[in-house]
Structure 1
Amino acid sequence: MNYPPSQMSVINTRKFFKCFQKVACLILPVMLLIQVAKAQDDHYKNGMVVCATPNASKVGLDVLKKGGNAIDAAVAVQFALEVTHPEAGNIGGGGFLVYRSAKGITNTLDFREKAPARASQNMYLDSAGNVVPGMSISTHQASGVPGSVDGMVQAHNNYGKLKWAELVQPAIDLARNGFKVTAKLASALNHNRTQFMKLNAGKNYLLKDDGWKEGDLLVQEDLAKTLELIRDNGRDGFYKGKVADELITEMNQGNGLISQIDLDNYHSVWRKAITGNYKGYKIITMAPPSSGGIALLQLLHSVEQYPLKRWGHNTDSTVQLIVEAERRVYADRSKYLGDPDFYKVPVDSLLNPAYIDARMKSFNWSAATPSTSIEPGKFVGYESDQTTHYSIVDKDGNAVSITTTLNDSFGSKIFVSGAGFLLNNEMDDFSSKPGVPNMFGLVGGKANSIQPNKRMLSSMTPTIVEKNGKLFMVVGTPGGSTIITSVFQTILNVIDFSMDMQQAVTAKRFHHQWLPDDVETETNALDSATINILQQKGYKVISRGNIGRVDAILVTGDGYYQGGADPRGDDTKLGF
């Protein structure tokens, strides 16, 4: 039968669509499987660990796969980082933990180091009242009483499921059997070789005759033995017995201050989280003696009313606003923040919206505000008297954000002979003398003066974010004074600039901390036009190396965990 051209066209069209439907039925399921597989490369349902080294991330993931919860994984990661990330992972330092249960219950643990009982306010000053260079950084007197082991024990006692011994064992295996050194770690070890040898006569820790190179095996037998004692005896494996004796002997040989009484008296403290809101998101973060939580909430409120999304990421208006907010917040930090057990921190006043708004009123779009004209704020009725981070979420939605530190990279660079671990130099985080900056350029005063048994102020900012009452983000970073601003900018990257977690972590960062009055930027963080505009307004823009190493987890709209591991280091995200 002959069909008119119009009918033939219809028939051919019908045949085409029938063929298309058959092919689609075969292709679409395959495409869907490919999309699901691709999504699963970055999105996980049952748990995720993001931390500073591949080996420690694997240790944490293995714990989650065995049925451990977020706290179990955190304990295992902490000890694994002691072995695989000696720059900051530690048993000789301390830190802060922010926890949120799957049911939304929050808690924070302060396992920050403390000043020894024999510490004194002017201990780093010479007879003329001047700070002795290096004394609070690279001597035995620079070390505070370590808190990491006690902190992990307390966290496990409160929330852990698996047995303590099986959480410490992976770190022992890594120390005894060794692990392959990464290029970044090899470079760090070689860079610090001279200091290791200078400060550790007769010791051979982290040294290699011909220098370290990528792929070399790092074995730490003395550290393995120390970890075995912690595995078998918990807190007493570190604060009593053989390890404690070795620590005290090391102190005595180097005129250090830590005594057995200090070790006996050290205890971590559970503190109420600092909370606030930003554009409908709830921010759960760390209270003093961390300055990070209060500063973060101040910064978020300072910029909340402005259209950051419309302005864009790292544009001149966005950068100027953030710098002016940071300038004021770091000025407040210098005067009002310290150990709440020794000093009445005016938390409510610092977080009062009216106070923060008033602080920003002196902000002028036409010109930079000189830091010399910015003083810490005043309140009505108030009278004053190297670090690493990891984020973990388990299959049930329990989340933990932990930042832990030795202070400088490799701490004081002094090892405890026989025990194989590094001493911190956290005493430098105190104000050795009012107005004199520490190694990170931070200035402090009476609130952060040295006193026996006092915890030194910190910038660590482990943080958890909720959206509509549900877990949304787990975030934190190392970086000394840049910790606060790195966490701040990462949160903005997600909420205001609609980045996914990895994009938010990878994005270039900048930093301002009141004094010195510089805008520090990562290479290529700002384009030349933006820099020119800022310079014309009086901002001093300085290019520097990496800022922070953020490790974070985002919960997507469909309930998957999406990780962000900072490419600035060996940081690794693993999930299942």
Structure 2
Amino acid sequence: MTVKRIVFLFALLGLTGCLDRDLDEVGLITDEAMVVTAHPLASAAGARILQRGGNAVDAAIAVQFALAVVYPDAGNIGGGGFLVLRQQDGTLDALDYREKAPLAADRDMYLNEEGEVIENLSVLGHLAAGVPGTVAGMVEAHERYGSMPWPELVQPAIELATNGFPLTEKEARKLNERRADFLTYNTRRPEFILKDHWKEGDILQLLDLARTLERIRDRGRAGFYEGPTADLIVAEMERGGGIITKEDLTAYDAVWRDPLTAEIGDYGIITMPPPSSGGIALIQLLTLSEDYPLDAWDWNTVKTAHVMVEAEKRVYADRAKHLGDPDFYEVPVAGLLNPAYIRRRAASISLEDATDSDDISAGVPAPPESPHTTHYSIVDPAGNAVSVTTTLNSNFGSTVFVAGAGFLLNNEMDDFSIKPGYPNSFGLIGGEANAIAPGKRMLSSMSPTILERNGELFMVIGAMGGSTIITTVYQIILNVIVHDFPMQGAVNAGRFHHQWKPDWILSEWGALGPGTALGLWWKGHKVVPKPSGGIGRAAGILVLPDGRLEGGADPRGDDAAAGF
């Protein structure tokens, strides 16, 4: 055996170490209401709204704006997201406030004269930004489902930005790591974020952002898409070579869509439709998994992990070919979710050997008969549930602050297929369905999801993590409904990920049980360690048999559960 092969085997066996996370850990349990977010101050803001009589949507709005202050690398007003809702009476809804390509965008805007991709043009700087949707989304959610006055929901974020808040160790480190990019890609130095060295406990005060939030508080949608804030956005675009105009801002609309639903065993799945790829992929994965005795095989054993990985390869291949903005491309939703189609895709799975990704292509579903994100989950005292995933795409998005307005712009244009067959910053391959077009929404992996059990609310779940969002949510759901973990233990548990291309299993250190990585290698899989940061970060709520709520806050970040 060669030295290189021996070293690889030792590295592989290293992946089977023990995680320092309790799989049996039970999270915060409350009697009536729960909020789980990526930051303790945002969770507290949402819980206070619920204590004052607000509903789940009211709390979601307060959380969204609070995250824009205390979690600037993903919480946002300069990005977008998806919201899935289940009312206590069974009413379902889904809100798409995903960003849009500017009207001046074109399919080859990130290519040079030879047709090659210009490195980083779709990732960093002004041209990477899509038209933000977050503020419009929150206004739409409030108009349809809110119960408290709008100003009261924005005010907690204003107070956090005005008074300042202490940085966590993780947030201080991330600000230090991106200092050079903040200097390189901003047309005016964002002094408020450029301290020589941030450390835990330092107070971050965001006065320009506070004034922007005040305009949103006082004027709603017009406080962002018109007036001084719109002027500042357009001026920033003009200085930095971006293409978002006032016409783009006034034309932006958030869209209500019918959520995807599926029955899998005793569970009802309620999740996001396109332009999310997450809902379709998640239903495909759970449907396929139902045909294998994963409970008998046990958690993260060779057989269990092998089948999950083989399922993921096929689902991500479908994602690359068939999914895009349904307003621009006829996504074959019914065909992709047809159980017969899903099982045909599974027929080529061998329990003995890995399938080479080059031998897997997208399926041909029957025509219908008719990175960087953050997630929060909320259940209010009445039993209304909201699952929200929101994003700037990469950490700190394009790294461009709107000068004078104090908020970051997204780099969501990279989520388009900037060149069919060319991988984006998350390594995802895309095709014509997700090509750039003016006014089009880019494909997303965000997967906000709600589960029912026997017709009753059972779980609220979602995650951050770019292309790993889908597999993160998939594994957490299986951890609960198949392996019987508590919510916190299910979120704690080590994770792995496969997305068809590149053809390897990305694994957290210690995620695979003793011998599993070696067993997968013998079947022909390539297993590589996630170098840092873990895979995904999730926020979950589980309804216990006695009706109480258990929160699952991810130990990979500063996430926290709050409630009463």
TM-score class, shorter: over 0.9
Q: 1:41 to 1:351 in 2, by over 3 A?
A: closer
Say if 2:374 is the partner of 1:374: no
Say if 2:41 is the partner of 1:52: no
2 CA distance for matches of 1:312 and 1:205? 52
User: 1:493 — aligned with what?
Assistant: 479
Structure 2 stretches of 5 or more lacking a match? 1-24
Secondary structure, counterpart of 2:441 in structure 1: coil
Q: Compare 296-305 and 525-534 and name the one that shifted more.
A: 525-534
Say if 2:130 is the partner of 1:134: no
Paired residue for 2:89, among 80, 103, 107? 103
2 CA distance for matches of 1:491 and 1:205? 43
Q: In the alignment, residue 544 of structure 2 is paired with which amino acid? A: T
Q: In the alignment, residue 520 of structure 1 is paired with which amino acid? A: L
Shift of residue 367 of structure 1?
Answer: 1.1
Q: In the alignment, residue 87 of structure 1 is paired with which amino acid? A: D
Say if 2:111 is the partner of 1:144: no
Say if 2:78 is the partner of 1:92: yes
Say if 2:248 is the partner of 1:265: no
Say if 2:324 is the partner of 1:338: yes
Structure 1 stretches of 5 or more lacking a match? 1-38
Paired residue for 1:571, among 547, 556, 559? 559
Detail structure 1 runs of 4+ shifted over 4 Å in the superposition.
380-383
TM-score scaled by length of structure 1: 0.92
2 CA distance for matches of 1:382 and 1:236? 39
Once the two structures are superposed, what CA deviation does each residue of 1:51-106 show, in whole Å capped at 9, x if it has no partner?
Answer: 00010000000000000000000000000000000010000000000000011110
User: 1:550 — aligned with what?
Assistant: 538
1 CA distance for matches of 2:482 and 2:157? 39
Paired residue for 1:242, among 225, 228, 232? 228
1 CA distance for matches of 2:295 and 2:122? 43
Q: In the alignment, residue 571 of structure 1 is paired with which amino acid? A: D
Shift of residue 207 of structure 1?
Answer: 2.7
1 CA distance for matches of 2:305 and 2:191? 44
Shift of residue 527 of structure 1?
Answer: 3.4
Secondary structure, counterpart of 1:550 in structure 2: strand
User: 2:506 — aligned with what?
Assistant: 520
Say if 2:453 is the partner of 1:467: yes
Please report the RMSD computed on the Cα atoms of aligned residues, expressed in angstroms: 1.3
User: 2:343 — aligned with what?
Assistant: 357
State the number of aligned residues.
Answer: 536
2 CA distance for matches of 1:180 and 1:75? 22
Larger RCO, structure (CA 8 Å, separation 6 or more): 2
8 Å Cα contact 2:190/2:403 also seen in 1: no
Shift of residue 200 of structure 1?
Answer: 1.8
Q: Compare 39-48 and 532-541 and name the one that shifted more.
A: 39-48
8 Å Cα contact 2:336/2:366 also seen in 1: no
1 CA distance for matches of 2:553 and 2:299? 20
Q: In the alignment, residue 467 of structure 1 is paired with which amino acid? A: R
User: 1:323 — aligned with what?
Assistant: 309
Q: 1:112 to 1:524 in 2, by over 3 A?
A: same
Shift of residue 381 of structure 1?
Answer: 5.1
Paired residue for 1:288, among 274, 277, 290? 274
Q: Compare 201-210 and 435-444 and name the one that shifted more.
A: 201-210
Once the two structures are superposed, what CA deviation does each residue of 1:417-467 show, in whole Å capped at 9, x if it has no partner?
Answer: 000000100000000111000000000100000000000000000000001
User: 1:409 — aligned with what?
Assistant: 395
Q: In the alignment, residue 425 of structure 1 is paired with which amino acid? A: N
Shift of residue 236 of structure 1?
Answer: 0.2
1 CA distance for matches of 2:79 and 2:188? 23
8 Å Cα contact 1:407/1:480 also seen in 2: yes
Once the two structures are superposed, what CA deviation does each residue of 1:290-332 show, in whole Å capped at 9, x if it has no partner?
Answer: 0000000000011101111111111100000000000000000
User: 1:529 — aligned with what?
Assistant: 515
Shift of residue 206 of structure 1?
Answer: 4.8
1 CA distance for matches of 2:421 and 2:285? 23
8 Å Cα contact 1:42/1:562 also seen in 2: yes
Shift of residue 345 of structure 1?
Answer: 0.3
Q: 1:195 to 1:369 in 2, by over 3 A?
A: same
8 Å Cα contact 1:287/1:293 also seen in 2: yes
Secondary structure, counterpart of 1:228 in structure 2: helix
Instruction: Output aligned runs, 1:116-515, within 5 Å.
Output: 116-380=102-366, 386-515=372-501
TM-score scaled by length of structure 2: 0.94
1 CA distance for matches of 2:414 and 2:27? 42
Shift of residue 566 of structure 1?
Answer: 0.2
Q: 1:160 to 1:205 in 2, by over 3 A?
A: farther
Shift of residue 199 of structure 1?
Answer: 1.3
8 Å Cα contact 1:189/1:206 also seen in 2: no
2 CA distance for matches of 1:344 and 1:275? 19
Q: In the alignment, residue 192 of structure 1 is paired with which amino acid? A: R
User: 2:526 — aligned with what?
Assistant: 540
8 Å Cα contact 2:333/2:368 also seen in 1: no
2 CA distance for matches of 1:316 and 1:508? 15
2 CA distance for matches of 1:376 and 1:536? 26
2 CA distance for matches of 1:40 and 1:137? 39
